[in-house]
Amino acid sequence: MDFALKKEHEMARALFKEFAEKEVKPLAQEVDETEEFPRATVEKMAKLGFLGIPVPKEYGGQGCDPLTYVMCVEELSKVCGTTGVIVSAHTSLCCDPIQTFGTEEQKQKYLVPLAKGEKLGAFGLTEPGAGTDAQGQQTKAVEDGDSYVINGSKIFITNGKEADVYVIFAVTGMIEKRGRMIKEISAFIVEKGTPGFTFGTKEKKMGIRGSSTYELIFTDCRVPKENLLGKLGQGFKIAMHTLDGGRIGIASQALGIAEGALERTIAYTKERKQFGKTIAQQQNTQFQLADMATKVEAAKLLVYKAALAKANQKEYGFEAAQAKLYAAEVAMEVTTKAVQLHGGYGYTREYDVERMMRDAKITEIYEGTSEVQRMVISAALLK
Amino acid sequence: MKIVVCIKQVPDTKGGVKFNPDGTLDRGAMLTIMNPDDKAGLEAALRLKDKYGAEVTVITMGLPKAEDVLREAMAMGADKGILVTDRVLGGADTWATSQTLAGAIRNLEYDLIITGRQAIDGDTAQVGPQISEHLGIPVISYAQKIEIEGDSVIVERQFDDRYHVLKAKMPCLITALAELNEPRYMTPGGIFDAVKADITVWGRANLVDVDDSNLGLKGSPTQIAKASDKVRKGAGEKVNLDPAESVDYIVGKLKEKHVI
């Protein structure tokens, strides 16, 4: 077993780090303050192929592996959690299900422009009454001639108004399973601009404030039959598979936020003087930093292990759940300690750690709360 | 069109500088980057490739680990990489370096050779023009803009408070300024391809028309008397006084040190 990174991963990290420092970091505070989607940054990332890192070259991607994608989200999130989640939602939640379940025609029509970054992707599963409980879905799709007609709404959709291509889940009927009638869910590819597809309110969020989080509304929205993703009734499987990958992306975002907060705290504690010496010379600070760094490293190993599992295994939901659970909780703990070690300054918006603490919180909630991750992990243990 | 770009792996000034006992740089022990002027030269070549179509070959002389800088160039878009490495080439000054690179380039077909103006570890600006001299082709130095017209190249050469527009028939050599452009980033896919790509490795035996007396430390007329890291300044003194008192204080200090 060798923990050394391969040459390509070292070079890719250097690339992502340089890009994040030069192009993303200078805007991070402004993006948070103004809550404006960083469109110019997304265009730069598109040009460099950052929106199609794990997608094969024949579909317009970069042909890299999941670990390279993880490092991209990690390095972006070290300086800006918003930018990290834009790439994560686009790649894991839209490119991945189309690559995995799409027909050749769907891949050519949607995956190629998504991977090239000409189009941005989003994913719509959550509804007001269906978060953790996907069976609570109310959005319906009814077959009508050569189309499906979708009615309903989705909330908290990342890249909401900025995306061009959406993977949307809807109930297409009822089926019997172990003597009970349950909802049959299917997945559809919906393009922005389809008549009947509009946007509701923009969420005002605690963190990742530059990410475009919107309600999607479908009113007699007619989607051609060829846009059914996978088979009819395969939606739940597609959603769960997609979220397994998505969790690795969010785990990477959480890892990056934690690393960013740790870096800034190390620098700050070496400068800040109290009682005639730097606070880094106080044993309390040293012990806090040691704990923070150790947990960050443990989170990194879990996240990278999950990325390798995605590359090498058919099923990787267990590894993804462990990585997301741990990295998200470490992100929250490390950013909270980072604010504490910054003292009063850390509570002001002048210092990055304040933003990072707000950004960290969502990683414990979206794409499966920490409680859901515990359910997934324990279910595998007790199988 | 065939373009050869000479690039150099130089110490990253952010990582600190280390010396060998003989005063030469301990290149094996330092963090390294692609020399900024060379990177601008590479970017210029890649833009010519984008605009007119070209095959871009990057070449470097250095330790085996200088291969890294070739792969970086290939991840940016260069087509081929050549590493010139041999124990007998070590310790080379600008003369021996330009002899070596010219000896290697004699194996290649080229319309244009682009080098950086100078490397941040030596700042001599001699290697590029010397290569052109050895190869017997024209040189246009300090290029801030490069265009191709038929079989000629038109270059804006920076010159104090103005620039000169020069035209030369190819093949010729151009030295590029870091200000020439903003070099592109690598791409993730480019990195994966570059890591797998073959790098041509040449040694002394592959150099054409070069005498041993012009190579390595022995072939270098430059002898280093002494080299040292820059001396760190002290913490200085900070005083908080109103403007009039500050002036008196500073004048007093200058008098005390016999500056005025």
Q: Tens digits of per-residue pLDDT, A180-205? A: 999 999 999 999 999 999 999 999 99
Q: Which helix (H) or strand (E) holds A12?
A: helix A7-19
Q: Is B191 in contact with A12 (Cβ distance < 8 A)?
A: yes
pLDDT digit string, tens, across residues B240-251 = 899 999 999 999
Residue-level pLDDT at A301: 98
Task: Give bridge partners of residue A184 from the DSSP assignment.
Answer: A173
Q: What is the DSSP letter of A91?
A: I
Report residue A26 CA to chain centroid gap. Answer: 22
Residue-level pLDDT at A135: 81
CA-to-CA distance for A118 and A241, rounded, in angstroms?
25
Query: Does any CB of chain A come closer than 8 Å to the CB of residue B40?
Result: no
- What average pLDDT does chain A have? 97
Q: Closest chain A residue to B196 measured between Cα atoms?
A: A8
**Is a pLDDT exceeding 80 seen at residue B17?**
no
Q: Is B188 in contact with A15 (Cβ distance < 8 A)?
A: yes
Task: Give bridge partners of residue B55 from the DSSP assignment.
Answer: B2
CB A367 within 8 A of CB A324: yes
Given the residues A104, A333, A367, A371, the one annotated as active site? A367
* The CA-based dihedral angle spanning residues A185, A186, A190, A194, taken in that order and rounded to the nearest 10 degrees: -70
pLDDT digit string, tens, across residues A296-325 = 999 999 999 999 999 999 999 999 999 999
- Would you place residue B48 in the very low, low, confident or very high pLDDT band (cuts 50, 70, 90)? very high
Average pLDDT over residues B33-52: 95
Average pLDDT over residues A370-374: 97
Residue-level pLDDT at B47: 96
**Is a pLDDT exceeding 80 seen at residue A35?**
yes
Has A354 been annotated as catalytic? no
**Is a pLDDT exceeding 80 seen at residue B23?**
no
Q: Which residues of B touch A64 (CB under 8 A)?
A: 188-189, 191-192
Q: Is A53 in contact with B188 (Cβ distance < 8 A)?
A: yes
CA-to-CA distance for A372 and A222, rounded, in angstroms?
33
pLDDT digit string, tens, across residues A105-162 = 999 999 999 999 999 999 999 999 887 787 889 999 999 999 999 999 999 999 999 9
Task: Give bridge partners of residue B174 from the DSSP assignment.
Answer: B114, B140
- Would you place residue B89 in the very low, low, confident or very high pLDDT band (cuts 50, 70, 90)? very high
Which among B72, B185, B188 is the nearest to A64, CB-wise? B188
Average pLDDT over residues A162-171: 98
**Is a pLDDT exceeding 90 seen at residue B19?**
no
- Would you place residue B21 in the very low, low, confident or very high pLDDT band (cuts 50, 70, 90)? confident
Residue-level pLDDT at A305: 97
φ and ψ at B48, to 5 degrees?
-65, -40
Question: CA distances (Å), A150 to each of A158, A188, B250, in order?
Answer: 20, 10, 78
Residue-level pLDDT at A189: 98
Strands (E), A212-295: 214-224, 228-229, 273-274, 277-278
Q: ipTM for the complex?
A: 0.93
Q: Which residues of B touch A53 (CB under 8 A)?
A: 188
